[in-house]
Every structure is written in C-alpha cells, then in structure tokens.
Amino acid sequence: MKQNYLFATLFLLIVFLCPAVAEAKHIIGGEVTYVCLGEVSPGVKRWQFTMHVYRDCLGGGPDFDQPVKFAIHQGSETSNFLYTTRDVFYDYNAEIIPDTPQCVTQIPYVCVAEAIYTFEEDLPVLTNESYFIVYQRCCRNETITNIISPGDVGATYAIELTPAAMAVCNDSPVYDNFPPIIICNNLPFLFNHAATDAEGDILVYSFCQALAGGGNPFNSPDPLGCDGVIPTPPCPPPFDPVPYTVPEYNFDNPMGGNPQLSVHPVTGEITGTPNLLGQYVVAVCVQEYRNGQLLSTVRREFQFNVASCTPDIDAKLSADSLTVFVEDYTIKSCGERTIFFQNKTTIAANVNDVEWRFDINGTTVSDHVNKWFTAFTFPDTGLYHGMLLINQNSGSCSDTAFIHVQIFPEAHASFAFDYDTCVAGPVSFIDQSTGEGGLNQWKWNFGIPGSGSSQQNPTYQYPIPGNHPVTLKVTDKNQCADDTTAIVQWFPVPPVIIIQPSSYYGCVPAEIYFGNLSTPIDDSYHIVWYFGDGDTTQNIISPTHVYDKPGLYDVRVEITSPVGCYTFRDFFHLINMESPPIADFECDPDSGLTNFNNTVQFIDKSSGAIHWNWQIGSNHSSFEQNPTHTFLDTGRVSVRLLVTHPAGCLDSMTKELDIRPVITWFMPNAFTPNGDGKNDDFFGTGFLNGVTNFKMSIWNRWGEMVFETNNPNDKWNGEKQNSGGMSPEGVYIYTVTFTGPRGEANEFKGFATVVR
C-alpha cells in the first residue's frame, strides 16, 4: 500500500529544505556516546568514545574536520580544568540520500553526510568529579528558522562521564535510527527516536537544549577561541544554549505544529504535524537510570527540514479514531446500525475508482459503483471490518484505508427523585439508566451553577428554591452515552421563620426594618406580615414599618410556597414602643450673673430620662442630674442638656446664660509726698479685667498737665511727670478714662490734694 511505504520512508527523513539549500554552510547535527572497555590497571578504566557528526552535502562550506580536536575536561559543570586533548580522524564518511516515495511529488533533493570519529582513552576512576568529552565547531545554516542569527551560532557535541557511570563501567545508550532528512508539511509525522542500552537500564526521552559553540568566522578575532571557527581546545562547560526565537520556539517546542511535535518519554517516538516550512534545530536527550540513579545523558542534535510534500493519493475518511501511518479508521456507533461513510481521499482529481468493501459474517459485501460517499446498514450489534479502496483497478497510484465498525447497544439515561415537598431537606436521586454490561460513569448536574456529582445515586441539598432542571449523563463500558433532563420543583417552606430584630424597645415614632432571614424563600413565595397595630403588608420579603403610638405589639409572619406549602410564626411582644423623653431644666440664678456672681445651680426638670449629659460652654460637661458650675470667665454661654430614655431615645434642650463683666475703680482725694513711706503716691485701685484705652491725667490750677499715664498701675509721686521737681501743696484736678469689656465708656474726675 502506497501510504505505508510513504510514511515508513519519511520516518527516516527530516525537516524542510528551503530554497536556500545552495547556501548551506556546514554542520547540522551530532551526538557523542561511549563504551567501557574494562579496567586496564587498578583504578584506571579504558573507554571508547564515538562521535557522529552530520553536515550538508550540498552548497559548499567546509568538509569534515580531519582530524578533529577533542577536549577532556575534569570537574563539574561549573568548576573544571582541561585534563587532556585528542586529535581524532574519522573512520567513516558517507552520504545519505533519502529514497523518493511513490505517489508523492514535490520532494526536493536533499543530501546529508555523516562522519564517525572513534577514539579510546584510559581514565582514572573519579568518585566526586566527572569527565566532559567535548567537540565544538562553527557553522550552522543561515536559513535556520528557530534560532536567532543562526550563521553566528556554532555547535557543541559533548557527553559527561559521571562518577556513577565510571563506578559500574557503564555503556551509554545508542540511538537506533538515523534521523529523518525531510518531513512533509501538514502531514502527520512519526519517528522512532528510541535508543538501545546494553545493560537494560531505564531510558527516559525528552526534548532538550541544543548547545552553542564556536561562532561566525568574521566576528571573532581568534579563530581558535571559544567564539572562533574551531575552538582549540574545545571550551569547557557550562555551555551556552542556542538562542531560540522566543516566544514562538524553545527547546521543548522546537518546531511548533498542530498538534505540536512532542517526544514520548518512554518510547522515544516523536509525533505531531508540522505546519510551517523551514529548517529547525532539534535536540533530543535520552537519560539513563539504574536503581533510580542517573548514569548518563546522550544528547543528539539534528536539523529537521520541513518541505512541501504532496501525496498524489491518500485514502482517508471521517472516523472516531485513526491509527496513524497504518491508516486504520475506527468508527463507533451506539444503537444506530446505519453508518454514513464520508470519503476524504486526496487528491480527489487523481481518483479514478472507489470501492467500499465490508465483511458481514464471513461474506464480503462490495459497493463498486464509484460512490464517493456511502451509507451501509449492518445487521446487528458487533464488530465489522471493511476497506476503502482507491484506484485498485486502474493503472494510477492506489491506496487503501482499513475500516473497523463497532456497533454497540445504545445506553439509556433515566432517573427518579424523591423528597418531601414542604420540608427543606435534601433531594434523593435514583439512577434508573441501562447500558450493555453496566454503566461505569454518571455525571449529574442539579441545575445550580457549580453543582454536580459523579455518584450513581446522589443526594443534593438545594440552597435556593426553584424549578431546577436536573440532567443525568451516563456512560457504559463501551463509552456509549446518553443524557436526560427532568425538572425538580423544590419549593419547601422554611423549617423555622427567623426575622430581625428579634426584639425592639424604643420610642415613637420609629421606622423599623424587618429583615427576613428565613430560608428557603424568594419572590415567588406569598408572604403576609401583621405588625400588631392593625397594619399589614404582603409579598414583601423584608418590609419596613412605622410605629407612631406607644404600646406593646405582636408581629406575625405567614409564608406560603408556590406549591401551596404553608407555615407561620407569631412573635409575641416583639415591639415595645414608649413615649420619647422630654428634656427640661432651670438655672438658679438664670439672670444677673457677673464675674462677681458666677455660680449657677442647674435643676433638671426632664421627664422619662435615666441619663443626663450636660454640655456647659465648650469646655465643660457633667453627667450629674443637677450639677453646679462656677463660670471662670464672662460672656454668653450655651448650656445644653441631652437626656436618654431607658430605650435609648434622646431629647435635648439648650439655654443661654450671660455672665456680665463688672469693673470697679476708686481714686483717693489727697496724699503726702514727703518721703516718709506713708501715702507718698497718688494712684487708683479697682478691678479692670477687660479694660482698654486707659488714660489718667493730672492738672494744676493753672491748667498745666503735671502727670499723664496709660498704665493703671502707674503712680504720681507729686513731681512734674514724676521727675521734674516737687509740685507745691494745693489742690490738683485728675481725669481717668477707659473703655469697658463690652465697649462702654468710663470716666472718673476729681481732686487730688497735695499735703506736706
């Protein structure tokens, strides 16, 4: 069959050859393996190392190095030194050209050359360090798709000889198959990338990092340096990964595809369908484990070429499943015996003959009337085999698709449910479904977002009432499925009616919100509220009601569900409404207050109060019922009484008091300025708080001013301006003026007699 031949051949091919094949530079892949040849002296073992290197045959570029320079570094990946170097000649060099499959067109000519380098080395066995066998070389094709500036990126082929491998004289795994040279775009791809291990160790496969090494010969000043054409000696780890063109590609997704190319961790098979032409660097690692310990990692890097390969004939049909590359199509039916077969063979223009064949209980039934599509009725349940034959009787390329039809008895979903209509309890669901050989999967959806169960006979407690659509989907052992839906009318009444407030004690008028915490209820329930004062309301889950008269009130709630379930509850003496408090007080005295008469007794006259809060001015408060307060300052003062009822109701009253500022001033009528320390000065005394614009002046009988001051504390000593010579005995005139605290004018006049 053409299809089998095509894919068996393409398994040995890889990635797209782009139009720039003629510009290929050199290296496209390689790997390093080893074999332990045994102990040659105590603590020293001989190892054979083998490197496969692959390059383009076409497009020029350097040939294989002859010899190549290997480096053996000792240490760890982060700390090591050069142990030795080896010049090795290849002992094999051949070109590999893929066969051209029949009935496939537009495959470009591609050629890959392979060289094998082998050498032996005696190495002391290490217990805590490894050996790293390394070869590095530029240059990659500039047309590579999945790495950045590929012409500037070389390659590193290396393997680590671990202490664990040295201890057991281990042989590394060896890959079984040569990588494919060409992969056909948009065709399913399968390549067995498995390896063989001589000791039977456990092997684990994965995509891994391709390693850079060496660089563009035009960018490096030292051709033998780490960025040069041929690093000599090859540089030690750690090795840089190639720079993938992110985010499209990375080491774990080197080619994309739909489905994306992947490697099976156990079998090593690479599968997927590439969907973009190009050249791709791919690295596959096989890790070798023994007794849970990692012995070795063999990294193979290769350049996959995705090309436009067009099958002339590819027999296909719609099916439930497909065995890739064998083209076995499996169709499953549950109960339906008439199957419609849809031919999807490509290329349709190349199809000259179509035949459908089915084996019915040992008899071949053929439909050979060139039907592109056909429908066939099978006699009963069971497994039937058939074929779609394309161009079997013509000279052109032919192909065959194998058909397997499995007809199972249909599954039937059914269930019942049980619950108490008026009680807010769980609903029990009883599966009544049937299926051949029994059911093995139940999927319930109870009609509430996020609800469900996989049990055969579950119970479910609904959080809310409603007409809930319940769906059951069942699957039998043949994976035949069926589903059914039924409506559960779940409208119970609440097991207990709960409202807030649970009690209320307050003063009228009061607007009270009744919060209905009962469940389950919703707007579809008929709810009646009786507030105890003659008022009612209906069909409001949580109402608000105003009480405007004192009294003790009972509240009643009645609930009826949409299916007629009824419940009620009485809340006796739930609401206790009283008259509000009245704030009142008297002040003793309430007038005539001055800075000399400034103590007030406050007398409570309120009703219905149990707490008193006095705010006297802005800086004083009291919680006594009848406080007394002495005002330390004059002015108008606001006094507020806030009273509290036992139910917490409040009332307040505010009064204003005026504490008037009073001033006093007294002047003598004579003094004796003779220096005997008695009555030597003339001055006034009094209470002048808040006084401004004070002025005192004294005049002699000739109208001459002999003393003047603006300070009420100054004294006249009898001399002119207190320093100009003693005034003679006699009578003098004084005048005192000032402005009072509230702006009133004050004037005092009199006589001052100087006596010697």
Residue type, 310: T
Please say if the pLDDT value at position 395 is more than 60. no
Output the DSSP codes for 580-627.
PPB--EEEES-S--BSSS-EEEEEE--BS-SEEEEEETTTEEE-SSS-
Cα 514 from Cα 552, distance rounded (Å):
16
Q: Looking at the whole model, is its pTM more than 0.75?
A: no
Tell me: the pLDDT tens digits for 582-600? 999 999 998 889 989 999 9
Q: How many residues does the structure list for the chain?
A: 756
Supply angle C-alpha 355, 360, 361, rounded to 5.
150
Tell me: the pLDDT tens digits for 138-184? 888 888 999 998 988 999 999 999 999 999 999 999 999 888 888 88
**End-to-end CA distance of the chain, in Å?**
157
Number of H helices, E strands in the chain: 2, 56
Tell me: the pLDDT tens digits for 16-67? 333 333 233 578 899 999 999 999 999 999 999 999 999 887 756 667 888 9
DSSP E strands: which ranges in 148-236?
155-161, 174-175, 182-184, 189-192, 195-196, 202-207
Residue 78 CB coordination number (10 Å): 8
Q: Which residues pair with 586 in a beta bridge?
A: 603
Name every residue whose Cβ is closer than 8 Å to that of residue 24 and which is 6 or more positions away in sequence: 56, 58, 59, 60, 61, 141, 143
Backbone angles phi, psi at 320, to 5 degrees: -75, -30
Residue 110 CB-half CA count within 13 A:
31
Cα 596 from Cα 572, distance rounded (Å):
61
Residue 550 structure tokens = 């004192």
User: Confidence class of residue 327 from pLDDT cuts 50, 70 and 90?
Assistant: low
For the chain, which domains are there?
2-306 (no CATH), 328-408 (2.60.40.10), 415-490 (2.60.40.10), 499-578 (2.60.40.10), 585-659 (2.60.40.10), 664-754 (2.60.40)
Residue 265 CB coordination number (10 Å): 12
User: Confidence class of residue 227 from pLDDT cuts 50, 70 and 90?
Assistant: confident
